[in-house]
Structure 1
Amino acid sequence: MRHYTLCLPLLTAFASQAADDYDLQRARATDTERWRCNACEPYQGWHGDVGLGVGYMNDDGASRFRNWVPTNYDQGMLGTLNTDLDYRGEGSEYGHIEATDLGLKRFSVATEAGRYDGLRGRFEYRESPYYWNRGVSVYQGEEGVLSAGPLTPFDKETLRKQVSLGLKFTPKSPWQPHASLRHETRRSTLTGYTSTLPGMGPMPGWLPIPQDQKTTLMDAGVSYLAKGWLVDLSYYGTLYTNEHQALYYGSQANPYLNDRAYEPDNDYHRLTLSGRRSWDRQSLTGRVMMSQATSSGGLNPFANTPVTQDNFNGRVETWQADARWLNRLSRSLTLKASAEHHDRQDKSDRQVVIGKLRPPTDRSHTKGDLGATYRLSRAIKLEGGYLYRGDRREEADRRETDLHTLYVRGRYQPVGPWSAGTRLSLSRRTGSEWLGDSGGTPTLRQYYLADRDRAELRGDLTWQVNDPLTLTAEAWWAEDSYPEPDIGRSQDRDYGVDLSASWSLPEQLDLNLFLNQQWIGSDQQHAYAYAPDWAPYQTRVRDEISTLGLGLTKRKVLERDLTLGLDYSYSYGRGRNEASAGYDYPDLTSTLHRLSGYALYQLDERQALRVDLRYERVSGEDYLYLGEEANLGEWNQHYGGYFGGVSWLYHF
């Protein structure tokens, strides 16, 4: 018998094993003492980060700057506390404590504890303000009654306070229940417009509207998970209460001369059954939702309005069903289909004001989507489909509208440094006959109801020039055309380009640049209702927005544990209005410069110092408020706010 050279050593080895009566039962256990990975042992106890900071802020007299640095005052010192701590116990026991920006007006505190494979709970409290610039008003007062007096400044702002509780149980079974509760209060001062000021005559002015609202949100449900499918039954509800029913305002002699209604108390309840089934290369997802919203508001506080009953009872019932199917027929071809129907029935009181009948507001819509994705090769993928949406609005001049859309998308991504994609969509909206019974002119075409043809084209390109440098570009163009522009919008355009570049050197430098340029325009047809021939004329609105920015992070500065970061953004907006007859309104302009920087120095393995700087300059001109500063206040934006601070960070 002939043996190959490789077989000879193998035969020799097997022969020696047979001579020693080799078998698995006599084999010695492998020594795994050195296999142990000490670095992978679970860490128990607390670990995380704590930071203490102090700083100085000046908003330059513009409370809007405080949206970036939220404080209680225009300028002065401030302090902050930030923590992010985690606890690991035995088994799946864990805990988490997080505090963000304690010391500022916008802050949050949250804690979570439990077991990953059992019961766990979460508690969170947060406050979130929002600021507009100040105004002036002749109206002052409290408890929902305002009377006229001298012009007095006021702050337009809102403050939300939110408390959240959450529970989730993950047992060793397919059932997974969950529940959460959230309570929110909102106190704010908003503005309403008035065309006459007591003691000053007919001129524009602000009416400060105090708000005091409370909302409770509830969410509970249970999920059942099994191999290949999932079912979930959940409930969601909200309870809303308003501390005020009406706002009264007038002169000192009669502060109840005028009144405005607040949003009435209301509640909302929704029940949802959803599921997902997966088999082979297919999946089916479906959902059914039923909801009801009710409200009740007293009508007696409005003495100036003749009513037929003491209360308004509102009730809206909604149901929705949707489904989505996905089938991957092969490695190259995937089919998808989806459908949705939404129905809203308004069962509220219709006649509560004498001489007026509120129109019905029942609405419904139906959606459909058919599409396919085909991969021609490893580098080329094509996608196309058809979308449909049908709407029915009982109160509209045109009860039914139908929107049909065809789209195609392509992606080219070879094995190389660049990739490209494009998307083209064409749509047409038609509908039922115009009723023309709303009291308006039958030639008026509301833009959201009128026939419309739309074309949209998008494209993007990414180029990996080399390891550190990447360039991306995206451009789009869209145009809407309204074929029957008797009175109303006739054409819309939206086009622009996004450019960006990133340069990254690991452990050294990150640099990002971006540029956005967008143009938006619309043409509208107008007419004079009292002219014999309607005297038609046209207006053209043009908006231009430019945005550019820079982001820089430099590590190991001066060969030390020092990191520097810089972010700068600039935006400019301009709005123009051109009319073929009548008055050409002045341009609207807005300019924003925003600069932020930081320096982070690592003192040792656990401690670090961080310095932060922020600066924002805003300038805006709206002709509507020019010349009205005496009775409206500084409503246009002109300020330069800044902030500086230092923080001590500790890691344990």
Structure 2
Amino acid sequence: MSELPQPGARLQSSLRLKANPVRWSLLALAGCAATALAQDPFAPLLEDTRPLATRWQVDYSSNLKLGVGYVSEDNFKFGQYNGLHKEGAVLLGDLLWRGNNDASYWQLSGTDLGLQTREAGARWGKTGKFELSFEMDNQLQVRNDSGRTPFTGTDVLRLPEDWIGASGTGGFTNLNNSLQGFDRELSRDHYAVGLQAQLSAAWSLSANLGYEDKQGTAETGAAFYSDAADGHAAILPQEINYQTSDFDLALSYSGDRLQLTGSWQYSDFDNDAELLRWQNPYSGFQTTVSYPAGEGGLGQAPDNTLNRVRLLGVYTFNPRWRLQVDGSFARTEQDQDFADYTVNPTLQIDEPLAVASLDGQVDTGVLDARLYFRPLPKLNLEARFHGEERSYQGDRNGYRYVPGDAASQSATALTVYNTLHDHSRNRFSLEGSYRLPWRSKLWLEYGYEEVERKNAAVETTQENTLDLRYRIRPLDSVSTTLKLGYADRAADTYRWDQSYYARLDAELINATPASQRYSNHPLLSQYHLANRERSELQWDVNWQPAHAWDVSANLLWREDDYDKTDLGLRNEELARLGVNLGWLPSAGLRLGLYASFDRYQSQQRGRSFRGGQEKNAFAIYPPLPQASDPARDWDTGTDDEATTLGLNAQWQAGEALSLSADYSYVATNAAYDFAAGTASGVDTTPLPDAESEQHHLLLEAAWHLRDNLSLQLAYQYWNYSQDDWALAGVTTSSIDKVLTLGEQEADESLHYIGTSVIYRWQ
């Protein structure tokens, strides 16, 4: 028998219950539950006995995250794309809110709502009928902000009133007092609304309307020229103000055998600035062109429109045959008025522009087709075709340009002509795959591509490719894939004089000796037009030696050999090795290790020579002019290496506490092996290495107060250092006739900490 309670104890308990009505209610509910359990022997099976770690992960469809973060230092590497580039506090906010009933559903979402890299969206629809959507995507890119400039303004860049001009940057005696920093940031805000509607069981309609606004400051180079070989240049801050509007409409049909989609796309690009003007910081030109009166003008990207129609279809003849066709036609147009030959009104212009605008039009047609065929149960065949035709529509006109806004209009012989660059690309390929024993499969593909170009150094290139791939899984714990590839591109006779004749006036061509009629040296091959042999190897391995372990490794090697090239890119080689290791020592702990090594090597050769009589590239008897003298060749070997190491861990330390950590280390090194010929005047100064090192540590803890409420704490440590000869010690005036921004090497060490509350609901 149980012991009866004492009268005093009963009185104290009664007083406590009366003083705490909430507790009384809970006890009453507990009593009702106990009675129910006594009546239903299966009631314990209905209790939720899952751990909290499971419930907060999967039981809730909606959540809200609110918090605050803090960045310890200004930076541009750590915050290049994530919006965490400024010292100080930032707001943190994420949202996912879903709802539905028998007739409709809806969703609101947002990430990084307190940052300039936020994304948000909304959807509402009726199942099987229609859906309306809205999306917003804000992006921000920050770049090296250590550069400085003496220029101020946006469309017109001016120098300070006390500026002192000179014929070279060394004479800008008031330069340091005139320099000021500026933010090199580009923001891209994109907004879109969409509609998807199911018109019937077979027909559906979709429409999307988008608008993008790109704002910020970039940089561009501009120069004044007394002649084509004597430029006085400056790196200028360039204001960016682009707007793009686009619209697309698609109608789709889905039948038993045929799926068909027809669409139309329209895009309109608007550049708010047509011309960038800047004040000439140099003297030494004629008075009206030198500082302070002289100005330069640089045309900006023109407004343009695009119309594109597309038809995509898939037809299944039977289970063994299927055809897919994807064709499109696009027309791009721009008719923005040309700027005048020069912004300096004192320069003499004898002949106006040939036309007021380019009135240009580019038509592009693309056709992709695939035919699938299964002749045998284990054999699959696929034939592919890709065709592309680009045609430039416009008149060929001559322009008597003004060299760099620094001299009067060029002589008639110096007229230059716009050229059209039509091209076509056709590629055929056939792939076969066959299932073999040992759970393996073999693929073999042959491809042939032919490209034809107009007004290019090579009219036609032809390329044959062969790819072999083999995948095998000899054991349940091991699978591996090996791929071998070979490609051979052959080019027509290299016409080094093609661009020269297409661009220049006949009067100048006839006045130039035949041995000097070229723009690029006759032995110099453009790498995308040159003969090339490519060999490639890829190997991927996945291994699970035990239930708690998994290992993967991948290897890539590729070599491009430009075996017919004398001057230009002669060889390049890429190698990449990556390893990942995962270990699950317990149900609540996972550890990971990853490492990779990348290496890129290249060899290129050039020749140093001057113009005039030294430009004769065809002499074979001494004394050789510079352009014909192989002793004036120089060779550069580039060796770029990148090493990455990383560790990560996820630990469910308890039912209410989860922890995670990730550390990564990245080191890069770029080495240059420079060698020059024995001719006098050829610089043999070697180039130093360029290096960088990065450490990044992320720690995160989440304390789950309840299955629908958590506290989160995040910490990051970032350290980045750079040793780059192109920036080290280089000031705005280090180059005699180039006024640069004088950027400094990156050297960042910072901390970030963030804390937030996460609330979840059904």
> For the superposition of Structure 1 and Structure 2, which TM-score range results when normalised by the shorter chain?
0.7 to 0.9
- Which position in structure 2 is the counterpart of 1:159? 187
- Which position in structure 2 is the counterpart of 1:547? 644
2: distance between equivalents of 1:324 and 1:142? 54
- Following superposition, the deviation at residue 405 of structure 1 comes to 0.7
Please say if residues 391 and 402 of structure 1, whose CA atoms lie closer than 8 Å, have aligned partners that are also in contact: yes
- Following superposition, the deviation at residue 129 of structure 1 comes to 0.9
Identity among equivalent pairs (%): 24
Please say if residues 224 and 296 of structure 2, whose CA atoms lie closer than 8 Å, have aligned partners that are also in contact: no
Higher relative contact order by CA 8 Å / sep ≥ 6: 1 or 2?
2
Evaluate the alpha carbon distance shift between residue 231 and residue 585 of structure 1 in structure 2; reply closer, same or farther with a 3 A threshold: same
Aligned length: 603
- Following superposition, the deviation at residue 579 of structure 1 comes to 1.6
Amino acid at match of 1:206: I
Amino acid at match of 2:194: G
1: distance between equivalents of 2:397 and 2:466? 44
Amino acid at match of 2:300: Y
Please say if residues 468 and 485 of structure 2, whose CA atoms lie closer than 8 Å, have aligned partners that are also in contact: yes
2: distance between equivalents of 1:101 and 1:396? 48
1:294 to 305, 328, 333: 333
Query: Residue 66 of structure 1: SS of its match in structure 2?
Result: coil
Task: List per-residue Cα deviations over 1:196-241 (Å, max 9, x = no partner).
Answer: 99xxx99975310001010001111100000122011001121000
- Which position in structure 2 is the counterpart of 1:218? 247
Query: Residue 473 of structure 1: SS of its match in structure 2?
Result: strand
- Which position in structure 1 is the counterpart of 2:661? 566
1: distance between equivalents of 2:742 and 2:582? 44
- Which position in structure 2 is the counterpart of 1:246? 275
1:391 to 451, 465, 476: 451
2:124 to 110, 113, 123: 113
1: distance between equivalents of 2:664 and 2:398? 53
1:313 to 356, 359, 371: 359
1: distance between equivalents of 2:378 and 2:667? 46
Tell whether 2:556 aligns with 1:476.
yes
Amino acid at match of 2:483: R
2: distance between equivalents of 1:624 and 1:593? 23
Tell whether 2:663 aligns with 1:650.
no
- Following superposition, the deviation at residue 270 of structure 1 comes to 0.5
1: distance between equivalents of 2:555 and 2:69? 42
Evaluate the alpha carbon distance shift between residue 157 and residue 319 of structure 1 in structure 2; reply closer, same or farther with a 3 A threshold: same
Amino acid at match of 2:336: G
Amino acid at match of 2:127: Y
Please say if residues 379 and 434 of structure 2, whose CA atoms lie closer than 8 Å, have aligned partners that are also in contact: yes
- Which position in structure 2 is the counterpart of 1:24? none
Tell whether 2:122 aligns with 1:62.
no
- Following superposition, the deviation at residue 255 of structure 1 comes to 6.9
| Between structures 1 and 2, the one with greater helix share | 2
RMSD: 2.4
Amino acid at match of 2:457: D
Query: Residue 312 of structure 1: SS of its match in structure 2?
Result: coil
Evaluate the alpha carbon distance shift between residue 255 and residue 342 of structure 1 in structure 2; reply closer, same or farther with a 3 A threshold: farther
1: distance between equivalents of 2:492 and 2:267? 37
Query: Residue 359 of structure 1: SS of its match in structure 2?
Result: coil
Evaluate the alpha carbon distance shift between residue 96 and residue 227 of structure 1 in structure 2; reply closer, same or farther with a 3 A threshold: same
Query: Residue 64 of structure 1: SS of its match in structure 2?
Result: coil
2: distance between equivalents of 1:123 and 1:157? 26
Tell whether 2:189 aligns with 1:178.
no
Please say if residues 146 and 743 of structure 2, whose CA atoms lie closer than 8 Å, have aligned partners that are also in contact: yes
Please say if residues 81 and 142 of structure 2, whose CA atoms lie closer than 8 Å, have aligned partners that are also in contact: no
- Which position in structure 1 is the counterpart of 2:712? 610
Tell whether 2:313 aligns with 1:275.
yes
- Following superposition, the deviation at residue 140 of structure 1 comes to 3.1
Evaluate the alpha carbon distance shift between residue 645 and residue 275 of structure 1 in structure 2; reply closer, same or farther with a 3 A threshold: same
- Following superposition, the deviation at residue 99 of structure 1 comes to 1.7
Evaluate the alpha carbon distance shift between residue 109 and residue 537 of structure 1 in structure 2; reply closer, same or farther with a 3 A threshold: closer
Please say if residues 248 and 256 of structure 1, whose CA atoms lie closer than 8 Å, have aligned partners that are also in contact: no
- Following superposition, the deviation at residue 121 of structure 1 comes to 0.3
Task: List per-residue Cα deviations over 1:50-96 (Å, max 9, x = no partner).
Answer: 1110121123x32333235515x7322222221100011233x0000
Counterparts of 1:518-533 in structure 2 under 5 Å?
A: 518-529=598-609, 530=614, 531=626, 533=629
- Following superposition, the deviation at residue 507 of structure 1 comes to 3.9
2: distance between equivalents of 1:228 and 1:411? 32
Evaluate the alpha carbon distance shift between residue 419 and residue 391 of structure 1 in structure 2; reply closer, same or farther with a 3 A threshold: same
Query: Residue 376 of structure 2: SS of its match in structure 1?
Result: coil
- Which position in structure 1 is the counterpart of 2:172? none
The 10-residue stretch of structure 1 (339-348 or 304-313) with the greater mean CA deviation from structure 2: 304-313
Tell whether 2:91 aligns with 1:79.
yes
Please say if residues 117 and 172 of structure 1, whose CA atoms lie closer than 8 Å, have aligned partners that are also in contact: no
Please say if residues 139 and 249 of structure 1, whose CA atoms lie closer than 8 Å, have aligned partners that are also in contact: no
Counterparts of 1:31-50 in structure 2 under 5 Å?
A: 48-50=62-64
- Which position in structure 2 is the counterpart of 1:380? 440
Query: Residue 584 of structure 1: SS of its match in structure 2?
Result: coil
Query: Residue 414 of structure 1: SS of its match in structure 2?
Result: strand
Counterparts of 1:491-530 in structure 2 under 5 Å?
A: 491-504=571-584, 507-529=587-609, 530=614
Query: What's the TM-score once normalised by structure 1's chain length?
Result: 0.88
Evaluate the alpha carbon distance shift between residue 483 and residue 55 of structure 1 in structure 2; reply closer, same or farther with a 3 A threshold: closer
Amino acid at match of 2:91: G
Counterparts of 1:444-463 in structure 2 under 5 Å?
A: 444-463=524-543
1: distance between equivalents of 2:130 and 2:398? 51
Amino acid at match of 1:351: N
- Which position in structure 2 is the counterpart of 1:168? 196
- Following superposition, the deviation at residue 617 of structure 1 comes to 1.4
Tell whether 2:229 aligns with 1:132.
no
1: distance between equivalents of 2:340 and 2:273? 10
Give unpaired runs (5+ residues) of structure 2: 1-41, 48-59, 161-177, 282-290, 344-348, 401-414, 500-517, 615-625, 677-683, 734-740
Query: Residue 358 of structure 2: SS of its match in structure 1?
Result: strand
- Following superposition, the deviation at residue 254 of structure 1 comes to 4.6
Evaluate the alpha carbon distance shift between residue 95 and residue 222 of structure 1 in structure 2; reply closer, same or farther with a 3 A threshold: same
2: distance between equivalents of 1:125 and 1:411? 42
Please say if residues 469 and 483 of structure 2, whose CA atoms lie closer than 8 Å, have aligned partners that are also in contact: yes
Please say if residues 469 and 504 of structure 1, whose CA atoms lie closer than 8 Å, have aligned partners that are also in contact: yes
Task: List per-residue Cα deviations over 1:251-282 (Å, max 9, x = no partner).
Answer: 48657611111101000110001100112222
Please say if residues 166 and 181 of structure 1, whose CA atoms lie closer than 8 Å, have aligned partners that are also in contact: yes
- Which position in structure 2 is the counterpart of 1:15? none
Counterparts of 1:229-378 in structure 2 under 5 Å?
A: 229-251=258-280, 254=292, 257-278=295-316, 279-303=318-342, 307-351=353-397, 353-354=399-400, 355-378=415-438
The 10-residue stretch of structure 1 (507-516 or 172-181) with the greater mean CA deviation from structure 2: 507-516
Please say if residues 667 and 692 of structure 2, whose CA atoms lie closer than 8 Å, have aligned partners that are also in contact: yes
1:193 to 197, 207, 221: 221
Tell whether 2:410 aligns with 1:410.
no
Tell whether 2:670 aligns with 1:575.
yes
- Which position in structure 1 is the counterpart of 2:38? none
| Between structures 1 and 2, the one with greater strand share | 1
Evaluate the alpha carbon distance shift between residue 626 and residue 193 of structure 1 in structure 2; reply closer, same or farther with a 3 A threshold: farther
Please say if residues 528 and 534 of structure 1, whose CA atoms lie closer than 8 Å, have aligned partners that are also in contact: no
2: distance between equivalents of 1:274 and 1:296? 31
Please say if residues 288 and 322 of structure 1, whose CA atoms lie closer than 8 Å, have aligned partners that are also in contact: yes
Evaluate the alpha carbon distance shift between residue 302 and residue 158 of structure 1 in structure 2; reply closer, same or farther with a 3 A threshold: farther
Task: List per-residue Cα deviations over 1:306-339 (Å, max 9, x = no partner).
Answer: 6222222111011122210111222211111101
